[in-house]
Amino acid sequence: MLSPVAWRTPPRQYGAWETVASNITEELVARGWDVTLFATRDSVTRAKLHAVVDRGYEEDCSVDPKVVEYLHISEAFEHAAEFDLIHSHYDFMALTYSRLVSTPVLTTIHGFSSKQIMAVYEKYRHGYFVSVSDADRAPGLNYLATVYNGIDPSLYPLREVRGDDLVFLGRIHPDKGVHLAIEAACHSGQPLVIAGIIQDKAYFREQVEPHVDGRRIQYIGPVDVAGKNELFRRARALLHLNTIPERFGLVLTEANAAGVPVIAADLGSCREVIEDGVTGFLVNTVAEAVEALGRIGEIDDAVCRSRVLEHFSIAKMVDGYERVYAKIFELEVKGQ
């Protein structure tokens, strides 16, 4: 299992790709698979841990990200002959090693970060790919399946009472629409709590920070699982007004698991993760988001959680990956 090395696996706070890699790894080990996790040395796992990088480059400013990334990726592929399969969560970079080894490589595509990287995917389009949503697919790639990301619902217990705050949880970046969440909160007259890492400092300084007064609009920084649960206990709804198509959106499932309705922009995977009118509302404008806030009483918290248990659990995700692995092994035998 090739995990990224931006953060620890699993991450202490932010780190969606590392979270998914960890969830798959630990469930596979529990099911009896022999798994070696390539991740940072401070990672926590029941699998065999193989590391050449001490700490994630987002947590250790003394290292060069590109240097540690390629030390990490090359290490995994130099040991390829020891494994029946390499399951990569390393975007386009690991693909450039895939034809240098005989071990099959499965790439989970967690999102396409730019148009420029598509040249790499095009070159290696005949590899094995899994998408994390039907919406986030590129034409021409050899997709074997869509496997939705899974979470551990026990980490996000159903809250007993619905709160009064609106919550934004995610990267502070224009793509995530923090400014739109602020606008919706101001129009609705409801308080908003913002949590997450500041990925775009100029955006935070110009479009978020001027509105933060510590009362109606609060920014509390990044949070861990305990911090998320505290937010969910306070939440009336989670606002996820993304400005670009969502790739999957782990936070949507985490909030729903705790019984928090989600108001999300109807872009990308949000329609697959949120059932409109059942676990939240899909909207196209801030005005629609404000209107949806007035309908939150129609959403049943317990139904939100039950949908996560049915569709977005770790067990469900790993069931999907086991089917993909079996298909790859079958194809590899036929190809020999």
pLDDT tier, 316 (very low <50, low <70, confident <90, very high otherwise): very high
Q: Pairing relation of β-strands 217-219 and 143-146?
A: unpaired
State how far the Cα of 198 lies from the Cα of 45, in Å rounded to an integer: 28
pLDDT tier, 14 (very low <50, low <70, confident <90, very high otherwise): confident
Q: What angle do CA 49, 53, 58 make, to 5 degrees?
A: 115
Are residues 295 and 160 part of one domain? yes
Are residues 273 and 249 part of one domain? yes
| Overall average pLDDT of the 77-85 stretch | 98
Give residue 264's region: left, alpha or beta (phi > 0; psi -120 to 50).
beta
The whole-model pTM stands at 0.94
Residue 336 has pLDDT above 70, yes or no: no
| Overall average pLDDT of the 100-121 stretch | 95
| Overall average pLDDT of the 28-42 stretch | 98
Share of the chain above pLDDT 90, in %: 96
Residue 10: inside a domain, yes or no? Answer: no
User: How many Cβ atoms from other residues are within 10 Å of residue 114's Cβ?
Assistant: 7
Give the tens place of pLDDT for each residue, 139-197.
999 999 999 999 999 999 999 999 999 999 999 999 999 999 999 999 999 999 999 99
CATH of the domain at 38: 3.40.50
Identity of residue 82: E
Residue 335 has pLDDT above 80, yes or no: no
Residue 1: inside a domain, yes or no? Answer: no
pLDDT tier, 334 (very low <50, low <70, confident <90, very high otherwise): confident
Per DSSP, 205 falls in state I
Residue 5: inside a domain, yes or no? Answer: no
Residue 54 has pLDDT above 90, yes or no: yes
Are residues 178 and 111 part of one domain? no
| Overall average pLDDT of the 268-278 stretch | 98
- Which domain, by its residues, includes 262? 153-311
Give residue 16's region: left, alpha or beta (phi > 0; psi -120 to 50).
alpha
Give the tens place of pLDDT for each residue, 15-27.
899 999 999 999 9
pLDDT tier, 89 (very low <50, low <70, confident <90, very high otherwise): very high
φ and ψ at residue 264, rounded to 5 degrees: -125, 150
Residue 11: inside a domain, yes or no? Answer: no
Residue 113 has pLDDT above 90, yes or no: no
CATH of the domain at 217: 3.40.50.2000
Are residues 196 and 288 part of one domain? yes
Are residues 237 and 182 part of one domain? yes
Give the tens place of pLDDT for each residue, 288-305.
999 999 999 999 999 999
* 306, containing H or E segment: helix 301-311
Are residues 105 and 53 part of one domain? yes
Question: What's the pLDDT score for residue 240?
Answer: 98
Residue 2: inside a domain, yes or no? Answer: no
Provide the domain count of the chain: 2
Are residues 192 and 124 part of one domain? no
User: How many Cβ atoms from other residues are within 10 Å of residue 117's Cβ?
Assistant: 14
Reduced to 3 states (helix: H, G, I; strand: E, B; else coil), residue 132 is coil
Average predicted confidence (pLDDT) for the chain = 96
| Overall average pLDDT of the 245-261 stretch | 97
Q: What angle do CA 25, 31, 37 make, to 5 degrees?
A: 20
Sequence-distant (≥ 6) Cβ neighbours of residue 246 within 8 angstroms? 133, 135, 136, 240, 264, 265, 267, 268, 269, 270, 273
